[in-house]
Amino acid sequence: MSATDAVTRLLGSTATSERVVGAGASGTVHRVELADGRAVAAKERSAPERDGTRAEAASLAWLGIAVPEVLAWDEDWLVMRYVEPGEPTALAAEELGRALAAIHAQPVTAYGAPPTGGPRDAWIGPVPMRNEECGSWAEFYSRLRVEPYVRMAVDRGHLTRDEAREFDRTWSVPDEAPARVHGDLWNGNVHWGRERAWLIDPAAHGGHRESDLAMLELFGCPHLERVRAAYLEVAPLADGWRDRVALHQLFPLLVHTAAFGRGYAGRAVEAARRTVVG
């Protein structure tokens, strides 16, 4: 089914044209023009991501701040408000930092909790991701964010068994309440609009605030220092947070190792060796 057909069916408004504006591991995004002059973004999820559209729609609604409005969705398509692209600016970066702090301040029941209305078996990029309430951050991180991707990477030949032993340890962070987190906050999932930055493609769950900031740092982000300074002004982190950046980067590095190959294995192992162990 074309994007114009999908949008016409889901919105009940005639769509007249479409063009691809983005593509990634989770799907292809089309800019679709409507007969009334409006434009929407229609994302076709990649197969075989069962429940992928439901998970993304629920994540966007759950985060609720600095995310595009979801207009409609079904098993294969997600239709959102279209945000015209712009250039990264320092002011937009500061607003992003404050918005991220506001997202994290929203209540969540437990580490590992899925978004309201979202499936427990969700996705991060092209690989599955389990969301399940846990009694502590250490349990959540080890059982749901480290161990599954170590096993997947070993099974796919992307990580050796000797390398896998580097991840067989207890991870610890200062005690704090769980937060609503984006969950896949690398630079490619920050959409710089004409007036502000928007967060897209979330893998949201109840997690630790430091994880979103650590992932922004992992692959670089325009005006990162301005984002972080604005965040810290609103929501300071516990002492020693800089020493825990590598710990929070373990998850995305292991996901990349499992999904894309040994090119990320060395960075994942090095991050494990640099973490503070409890």
Whether residue 145 lies inside any domain: the answer is yes
Residue type, 246: A
Shared domain for 72 and 129, answered yes or no, is: no
Shared domain for 96 and 46, answered yes or no, is: no
| CATH number of the domain where residue 14 is located | 3.30.200.20
Shared domain for 114 and 221, answered yes or no, is: yes
Shared domain for 112 and 239, answered yes or no, is: yes
Shared domain for 104 and 129, answered yes or no, is: yes
CA dihedral 116, 120, 124, 126 (to 10 degrees): -130
Shared domain for 107 and 142, answered yes or no, is: yes
Note if the pTM is more than 0.85: yes
Any bridge partners for residue 198, and if so which? Answer: 191
Shared domain for 128 and 221, answered yes or no, is: yes
Question: What residue numbers bound the domain in which 215 lies?
Answer: 90-273
Shared domain for 59 and 186, answered yes or no, is: no
Shared domain for 169 and 187, answered yes or no, is: yes
Whether residue 243 lies inside any domain: the answer is yes
Shared domain for 52 and 113, answered yes or no, is: no
Shared domain for 127 and 18, answered yes or no, is: no
For the chain, the domain total comes to 2
| pLDDT tens sequence for the chain (278 residues) | 899 999 999 999 998 988 999 887 778 999 999 999 999 999 998 765 668 899 999 999 999 999 999 999 998 899 999 999 999 999 999 999 999 999 999 999 999 999 999 999 999 988 999 999 999 999 999 999 999 999 999 999 999 999 999 999 888 899 899 999 999 999 999 999 999 999 999 999 999 999 999 999 998 999 999 999 999 999 999 999 999 999 999 999 999 999 999 999 999 999 999 885 54
Whether residue 278 lies inside any domain: the answer is no
Peptide bond into 119 cis (omega under 30): no
For the packed helices 209-218 and 90-104, what is the interaxial angle rounded to 10 degrees? Answer: 150
Q: Are 113 and 183 in contact (CB under 8 A)?
A: no
